[in-house]
Amino acid sequence: MRGYFSPDSVRAAEAPLLAALPDDALMRRAAYGLAQVVAAELRARTGGVTGRRVTLLVGSGDNGGDALHAGVFLRRRGVAVGAVLFAPHRTHAAGLDALRSAGGRVVNVPGSPDLVVDGIVGISGHGPLRPAAASIVGALHAPIVAADTPSGVDVTTGVADGPHVQAAVTVAFGAYKPVHALAPAACGRVDLIDIGLELDGADLVSFDDGDIRDFWPVPGEHDDKYSQGVVGIAAGSATYPGAAVLATGSAVRATSGMVRYAGTARQQVLATWPEVVAVDHPADAGRVQAWAVGPGFGTDDTSAADLAALLATDLPMVVDADALTLLARNPVRREAPTLLTPHAGEFARLADAVSPAAKALLDAGDRVAAARTLARELGATVLLKGFVTVVADPVGDTTVDTVGSPWAATPGSGDVLTGMCGALLAAGRSPLQAGSLATRVHSLAAARAAGGAPTSASRISAAVPRVLREVLRPAGESAGRRRR
């Protein structure tokens, strides 16, 4: 699990070090790490370090000082360093003196560098690049290494509402910040540099493969089909039977628990998944431990009545697609564990009905605050789909998915995710865990199924067991050995 820390948390962690260390010592730690990454990038891109050219884009704050001190370390390795100063009278004086003493130069234009270091604004910056900086950044052709955060991108929300740096690499000083998860296109690869900060209480977290190994339900020697969780799937219609097949199939593939299907696509489901117990109506499904409701469900009066009956139960539930449309028409606050899985349009409809504040935050691009606000208003965990999927529970605990496969944006892909979430809820996982685990595996499966080319929801679903086989493999066990 990786934590992402707010600027206030980072500044609080820096304060005791700044008080205890000599002037600029913490800055030089960050600058040394930045210079090491720049040197490695030069070597990888040009085959060497000595004699290469680097331009520093230097703002007025400590971020500019980081870039200047990094330039000093690069000069010691024989790099030609020029610095463009965007606020000459407010430039970090000690850093600029050190760069000049090391043979670095102040320049008016970047020239033709092999690499550029973005030190324009740091974690206290807000808003897009100003015109002078935007003009220079827009004309660059060399790759950019951003110091801590790409300038012009909001550190907390990842929003870039104007000209901004698009980095090839971002060097995070001491801690990952929300921007590193929320704006992957602007940050590029993110390298963390340890500068001695002690932090706790992350603002966001992302699940990794270790979390899948820790929390994914794996049967033990005393388990049977019932003890691993029985999930009910209420999905599909005469118009959309495929949604039922996809949601049910992904539930089958996600765990070894039992799957019961209830709906009008019974025959189509059984034709593909004979291991499923299928009935025509949720009232006839028998005992389940969680429900997955909504894909292809329909939005007529009959569907609305069926959804209302399911929402009135005390069972955990994932609500998706048509069921979200119905919920927006008649909002219900449940006491039972509930996971809502809207895309942006479905989120907007729900927020219009219950939380104008959440809608305003979504419109402003602050997807984390929007998800948290709607989750609090509805008393349900909200999984806001997107390239970076956000999962927030009613008390504000929040995860972000950093796999972010664009190939997951294909028809029926959400139905696959819904079935996985339902299976995990039935296995006893919390809505936050179920949504976070399922999202990561779903993204990995989408990338695996695509292989760099267009794919389909059926292929994504089929890739789920292969992804789980790889991730859940005991450490040190090779794929070949496991096959034997």
Q: Is 296 annotated as a binding residue?
A: yes
Sequence-separated contacts (24+) of 352-356 with Cβ below 8 Å: 352/328, 353/328, 353/329, 354/378
String of DSSP letters for 247-314: HHHHHHHH-SSEEEEESTTHHHHHHH-TTSEEESSGGGS---SEEEE-TT---SHHHHHHHHHHHTSS
167 is annotated as contributing to ligand binding: no
CA distances from 336 to 314, 327, 348, 425, 431 (A): 5, 16, 23, 11, 10
Q: Is 84 helix (H, G, I), strand (E, B) or coil?
A: strand
Query: Which tokens belong to 479?
Result: 């794929």
Nearest to 116 by CA among 193, 34, 204, 57: 57
Report how far residue 166's alpha carbon sits from residue 193's, in angstroms, rounded to the nearest whole number: 20
Check whether 387 is labelled as a binding-site residue. Answer: yes
| 343 annotated binding-site participant | yes
In 3-state terms, what secondary structure has residue 351? helix
Q: Say if residues 206 and 400 touch (Cβ distance below 8 Å).
A: yes
Which residues make Cβ contacts (< 8 Å) with residue 314, sequence separation at least 6?
335, 336
Does 385 count as an annotated binding residue? Answer: yes
State both tokens at 316: 């955990």
Tell me if 89 is assigned to a ligand binding site.
Answer: no
SS3 345: helix
Instruction: Return d(Cα 407, Cα 416) in angstroms, integer.
Output: 13
345 known ligand binder: no
Q: Which residues fall within 8 angstroms of residue 345, CB to CB, at 6 or more apart? A: none
Q: Which of 234, 230, 446, 220 is nearest to 323 (CA)?
A: 234
Distance between CA 337 and CA 275 in Å, rounded?
Answer: 27
Token pair of 55 as six digits: 């331009």
Answer yes or no: is 126 a known binding residue: no
| Nearest partner of 402 among 444, 367, 347, judged by Cα | 444
Residue 408 annotated as lining a ligand binding site? no
Q: How many helices (H) and strands (E) does the chain have?
A: 19, 18
Contact 190, 34 (CB under 8 A): no
- CA–CA separation, 468 and 471 (whole Å): 5
According to the annotation, is 414 in a ligand binding site?
Answer: yes
Q: Which residues pair with 145 in a beta bridge?
A: 117, 169
Residues 6+ apart with CB under 8 A from 357: 373
C-beta of residue 36 within 8 angstroms of C-beta of residue 4:
no
Binding site membership: which residues? 243, 296, 343, 385-389, 414-415
Sequence ranges of the binding site for AMP: 385-389, 414
Binding residues for (6S)-NADPHX: 243, 296, 343, 415
